[in-house]
Structures are given as structure tokens and as C-alpha cells.
Structure 1
Amino acid sequence: MRLLHTSDWHIGRTFHGHPTLDALDGVLEALTTLVRENDVDAVIVAGDVFDSATPSADAYRLLTRALTRLRETGAVVIATSGNHDSAARLGFQSEFASLASIHVLTRDETLDIPVTLRDGDGPVHVYGIPYLEPALIRHKHPEETLRTHAQALDFAMRRIRADLAERGGRSVVVSHCFAQGVSDAASDVERDITSGGLDLVPTTVFEGVDYAALGHIHGRAQLAEGIRYSGAPLHYSFSEAGKPRGAWLVDLDGSGLRDVTWLDLPVPRRLSVVRGTLDDLLTDDAYSEFEDDWVSAVLTDTVRPLDGMRKLQRRYPHCAAMVHEPAETHDHGTTSYAQRVQGRSDTDIVDGFLEYVRNGEGASEAEAEIVRDIIDEARAAEVSA
């Protein structure tokens, strides 16, 4: 049996305000090519199919195209809901979709009822665990303590192991969670599942199955031979720059997990973080290789340049973010503001303020003249009042 493990499509997500639907459509078409070329029996999508609980019509159309292309290869599709999805919307008409071998598993009541695939070695039971929000399921099981995501996953896996003990055969679990050992792989896109304390799921929860296909982390990660994250098929944050995009090709033989291989997906546009003064970033030939990338610019100028983003986009049309991090910062000491301005004139105070916010650079001669004129006008108004 050959499976392709993917996750976190996040259909409809924007990248710093830029739409990603066309780029994702192309990547998912490349995913279909991998399925066809590698004779994949089933494609797994481990949660966060959509980026929003209320997807747009264009997002639904993209999903329809992607699922249609995958089914045309002959592969079965098995998807679960993640914390970004609306389980009800994603699972709408899932009974009809299952007739076409597209299984969308979003109901916690049926998480211990698997999709059963068969090959020459017998059955492979694929259990889909939708994202389990403890607050939304604990009232259904008052006999259980379900205050954390870890407790909810432990409860789900106990049900699955009990069912598997009766069925026999090989098994795969699909889950969307934040498992122990993945904090270094996380990006700033993963949200709503905390990484500290209560919502961290121990990997021991997944004992007893041949493979656990996990979602939620946008970078690939291997927690054990049979417990992995595939990551997202598209970059959604500059914190993901340099992380490969792809999917895990999972081979099962008669005794269980045999082999897992990484397959790369294309990156439509590279992500790059460049650092330097605005003048260097605009003129230095060393930055030429980044001109067609998605760019996050870190400006090291002492004073934040005016209209920096517009100037950057002249050279880097896809500059999407700009951060000001001065290479040198002015040490203002520990004295209070009242202490620093005591005995100083009004013009000196304004100059000191400019020096403070500009990391050591005070008013220019022209600015100082404007400040003096304004202060004189204010004093004259006070006298005549």
C-alpha cells in the first residue's frame, strides 16, 4: 500500500495581503503529478484544508479542481478538518463524496470508524481524527476528563485502538495537533494551538498504529519513524523561508510500515530576507539575485527612511514586508525624562526628542529653524491671550 501524506493546504490564505490561490493551484497540480508518477493508492490531507471557517467561492472551486485531479489518478482521498476549518462546512455532503472515494472525516462521533483500503496483504484502516476542541466535545463524554487537547487525543486514540483490536490489520491515523518535539519546526503562521503546557500532545498518544500522519506544523518534521508532519505545500510566512515544500511517500507492506520517502514540490516564488541600509539594498549588485523573490527587507539605517517600502518595490516588485532594525542604537541611560529635560530650553527639548526617536540624530538646521518659528508663534499667542 502506498500513501502520500500532505497537510495544511490553507486554501484562501493571503501572503502579506497578496492572494495565493493561483500559486497553490499550481502546486496542487504538481502534487497530482507526484501521485500519478508514484502510483499512489491514497492521498491524505491532515487538516487545515481551508484557511478560514468561511471559505470564499473561489476557495471552494480550487478545492473541487484539486480533488477532481487527484481522483482522476485513481487514488483515494482522505481528509480531516483542522483548527482553521469549519468541520460542518468542510464535511458538508461528505456522505456523497465518499461514493466517489473522497472521504472527508470531520465528525468526532465517528473517528473510530476507519476508511478501509485493501491490497494483496489485506486491509489498511485509516482513522481520521478531526481537530478536537476540548470545550466542544467534553459535554458529550461526561465520564472523561477532557480539558486539554492532549486529553482529547488520548481519548480518541483509546477508541481507535479498541476498534483496531477487533478489526485487525495495518493502521494509519490522521491528526491535526501540536505534538511534542515540533516547536523548532513551527512558524509564525501556526496559531490557535499553543505550544506551551496544556495543548502539547505527547507522541506516546499515537502508539499502536503503523503510521501517524500529522498536520498543523508548516515545516516537515519527523518525531519518530512512523510519526511525521508533512508541512504545508506552499510558503505562508517569511519564517518558513528555506524550508522545503513537499509530501511524505509512505509505503506499507504486510507487516506494517516499510519505508518513508520525501518528495519535493515546486516553490512558485522563493522567499528571501535581505538586510542592509536602504541605499545598499537599492544599489548594491550583491542583492540582484533577490529581485524576483518575495522579499522581507530589514533596514539597518540609523533613522527610519521615509517612503522605504515604495522605494524598495522599485527594485524588488514582490517586496512584501519591511522592518526597521538600526545597526546602532542610542543609549539613553536610566534617567527619567524629567531629569533629562531639567534646565533645558524648549528648542533643546524638541531637539532632544528628535535625537531620542532617531537613535542619536537631532534636528537639522532647517528643522531647527522651523521649530524656533513655531515656538516663537506659540509664545506670542500666549502673551496676547
Structure 2
Amino acid sequence: MKLLITADIHMGRIPSVGELPGLTGVSAWKKVVDAAIEHDVDALILVGDVVDDDDLWFSVYGHILDGLDRLDEAGIRVFGVAGNHDSAVFARLSVDFPSLTILGRGGSWERVEFDGIELVGWSFPQSTVTGNPFDRFVKTDSSKLSLGLLHTDLGGGRSGYAPTRIDDFTNSGVDLWMLGHIHKPGKVDSAEVYYCGSPFGLDRNETGAHGAYLVTSENRIRWDRIERIELAPYRFESVTVELQNEENRDEVRRRITGELRELTREADRTLFIRLNLRGVVDQRLLGRDLLEGDERYIALFTLPNGTIYLDRVYDHETMPPLDLEEIARGSGPAALLAKKILDPDSMRRLAESYGELEKASYRAGAYQPLTASYGDEEEALKIAKEQALLVLQSLMNQVEGTR
């Protein structure tokens, strides 16, 4: 038994990248259908919000039916539950296409047997549900391997999107739960509960790999494998760059491109990078012109399988440079540290201590398999000063916080 499980496709909504040719509001759906056929699954499971809005009926209807026709020809059944975005459109689709089975229509729990397993599901009856669906859940003593499907705001408290608690799932008697609504995929705590995530990242907040889950049972006694497969041809990523008091804008740009160049070694698809600048820098260097151009994304590096794009909108948590001489004229720990930073002999002794610690770490048992690669004295001095400045900045922040 092999199932492909996904949610939150949001057909009709185009991912906010704007740079990939051929990317449309139905690209993710087509990729999901392709994956189901490629992996020769027994069923495709859809856990809500397949369509972005009930009003998009005409723009997505034909594409959905094309996909369902392809799945039917491949002998793949389709099961699902409705989410808050497509509470009405799914019910209409199941009337037109008998191979599509929607569980729990009208906000009632429903159990369906399929090829020796039991599917358990509940669908949104309308776009907003403030009650917990488990308030009406009835636990059974079925001996069949079970899979639960629910579009829900787990831990959502007073949410309007079918809020639930983790205990609802662990006490349900269902072997595995696959959820929709949250677009970040992954397991929830230690329970057998997973959020499918969106198959394609829809905006810059949906970082990391996106795809679907391939779930397998060899003998229908237990779920043997729960694997994530990546489907999206791109990723949104956030990259932090530490600035080190660069003197001009060109130096800042070189620091950024140097960090991003490292990504080209491992990237296997197009990346859309949002910068988070940290460290110390003259704030005047971070103006609107830091990342040139008028387009939202700058094509920075070309890869064998895509492009690295840099988002011209960036975040920063930087600090202005410290006036060491002014601080050293004061009193207290900050003044003492500033004096040491200004004293070449003190910094050299600190760098020597750092170098000894680095060598000792390579001699430690846990790191002996590593090839020792010690930095030179200049590198050690640079690191020592950077760390001392970070400590000094922290001290100054504490002083400011007490005023």
C-alpha cells in the first residue's frame, strides 16, 4: 500500500516569485499528479485547501478534472477532506467525478475502507469553524490500519479554523494523522501527526523544501515508511550575513556575494534568497541603493539546474560602529574591555589564547577524525577582535537598557 499525501495546493494562486517561466496557479497540482503517477501509488490523498478560493471554480475546474482523469487512467484513487478555502468546491467536484471521494462533508466525521485500510476524515462545512472537530469524534475498536485526515489549526485555541489539541490525536485510536492548514511540513511533537505543508512554497515566508509525503505500508499492519519528497522546482531561503564594520558599500556588497556564493556548491534548484544582515556597519551604507536594480529579484548566480535570485527587500539587525576611545574614557566593564581592544598587546594575548583553544579542540577525542586546520596569527587576531567587539556591544546594550 503506497499513498501520496499533500495539502494546501491553493490552486488559482500564483506563488510570489515572478521569475520562473511557466509557473502558474495550477503548476503545483500538475506536479502532484505527475508524482502520484511516477511513484505508482494506490491513492492520492488531499488534506484540504486544494483550491485557493471557492470563487475560482471556472479558472481551476478544467485543470482539476484533467488531473483526475490522468489519475483515473493510472488506476489511482483520490480521497480528501475540504479545508477552509475550498469547503464548497470540493463537494461539487465529487459529484462530477465519482473517483474522487470527499470524507466528512458537512462537518461530520466519516470512515471509509480502502484496500484493507481505514480512512478517517472531517471536512469544513463552511470557511470558518470555531469549534473543535473532535468534540463529535467517536473512537472505534477497528482492527484495520487507519489514517486520519484533517485540515486544522492545531493548538489554535480560539482560532476560526477548526482548532484542535495534540491530545485529540494521541487519544483518537487512529494510527497516523496527516494534517493540512499550516504550510510548513513536518512532524508534530513525538506523536504520529504530520502537517503536509504546501507542495510549492507560496511566498518568502514558506522557506525550505516543499513537496508531499509518500506513506507506505508493506502488510497493512503498520505504516512502515513516511517519506518527504520534494516537488517544488524552487525554494525560498533566508540567509544571515554577518557584517564586520565594512568601510564602504562595495565592501558590504562583496561580503554579501561572498556568503551567497557558498550556496552555489550545494544548490540543486532555483533559490530565492532573503537576506538578514547582522553585525556592525555604518547604517548609512544600508540605504535603498545597497542592492541595485528595479526588479524585486536580482539574478545573481546561474546554476546547472536553476538560478540564485536575491530579494532586493532585506531584513537587518545591525548595530552602528562603536566609538572605542569614547567608551574607554568611561568606567566599568565596558570601558575596561574597550581599553583592551585598543591595546595591541592585549589583543595579541587574546588571539594566542584562542589559538591554543583551537588546537586543543582538535586534540579532543570527538574531533580526532578531523583534519586539523589551524588559522594563522592574523586570522586568530581578527576573530579575537570580532568576538571582543560583540561582547562590548552586548555590554553597551545593557547600559542603554538601564537608562
Could you tell me the TM-score, scaled by structure 1's length? 0.62
Determine the structure 2 residue equivalent to 1:22.
23
The higher relative CO (CA closer than 8 Å, separation ≥ 6) is in: 1
Cα distance in 2, alignment partners of residues 53 and 280 from structure 1: 51
Q: Spell out the pairing of 1:212-231 with structure 2 (5 A cutoff).
A: 212-223=177-188, 224=190, 226-231=192-197
Whether 1:311 and 2:293 are equivalent positions in the alignment is: yes
Aligned residue identity for 1:117: F
Q: Tell whether the 8 Å contact from 1:293 to 1:316 is kept in structure 2 after alignment.
A: no
Cα distance, 1:322 vs structure 2: 0.8
What is the DSSP-based 3-state SS (H/G/I as helix, E as strand, rest coil) of the residue aligned with 1:115?
strand
Whether 1:117 and 2:114 are equivalent positions in the alignment is: yes
Cα distance in 1, alignment partners of residues 290 and 154 from structure 2: 40
Cα distance in 2, alignment partners of residues 280 and 319 from structure 1: 17
Aligned residue identity for 1:124: I
Whether 1:103 and 2:101 are equivalent positions in the alignment is: yes
Determine the structure 2 residue equivalent to 1:366.
none
Q: Spell out the pairing of 1:335-346 with structure 2 (5 A cutoff).
A: none
What is the DSSP-based 3-state SS (H/G/I as helix, E as strand, rest coil) of the residue aligned with 1:55?
helix
CA RMSD of aligned residues (A): 3.9
The count of residues paired between Structure 1 and Structure 2 equals 292
Cα distance in 1, alignment partners of residues 14 and 128 from structure 2: 29
Could you tell me the TM-score, scaled by structure 2's length? 0.59
Aligned residue identity for 1:103: T
Whether 1:171 and 2:146 are equivalent positions in the alignment is: yes
Cα distance in 1, alignment partners of residues 160 and 311 from structure 2: 26
Q: Tell whether the 8 Å contact from 1:82 to 1:176 is kept in structure 2 after alignment.
A: yes
Determine the structure 2 residue equivalent to 1:144.
none
Inter-CA distance 311–89: structure 2 relative to 1 (3 Å threshold): same
Cα distance in 1, alignment partners of residues 65 and 311 from structure 2: 29
Inter-CA distance 323–93: structure 2 relative to 1 (3 Å threshold): closer
Determine the structure 2 residue equivalent to 1:126.
119
Query: Deviation per CA, 1:289-335, whole angstroms, max 9, x where unpaired?
Result: 6696323234666135235565274843754461352522599xxxx
Percent identical among aligned pairs is: 21
Whether 1:294 and 2:272 are equivalent positions in the alignment is: yes
Cα distance, 1:176 vs structure 2: 0.8
Cα distance, 1:53 vs structure 2: 3.6
Please, which runs of 5 or more residues in structure 1 have no aligned partner?
Answer: 137-147, 184-191, 332-385
Aligned residue identity for 2:154: A
Aligned residue identity for 2:88: A
Aligned residue identity for 1:79: G
Determine the structure 2 residue equivalent to 1:353.
none
Whether 1:154 and 2:134 are equivalent positions in the alignment is: yes
What is the DSSP-based 3-state SS (H/G/I as helix, E as strand, rest coil) of the residue aligned with 2:153?
coil
Whether 1:264 and 2:244 are equivalent positions in the alignment is: no
Q: Tell whether the 8 Å contact from 1:231 to 1:247 is kept in structure 2 after alignment.
A: no
Determine the structure 2 residue equivalent to 1:322.
313
Q: Tell whether the 8 Å contact from 1:219 to 1:230 is kept in structure 2 after alignment.
A: yes
Inter-CA distance 129–5: structure 2 relative to 1 (3 Å threshold): same
Cα distance, 1:262 vs structure 2: 0.6
What is the DSSP-based 3-state SS (H/G/I as helix, E as strand, rest coil) of the residue aligned with 1:239?
coil
What is the DSSP-based 3-state SS (H/G/I as helix, E as strand, rest coil) of the residue aligned with 2:60?
helix
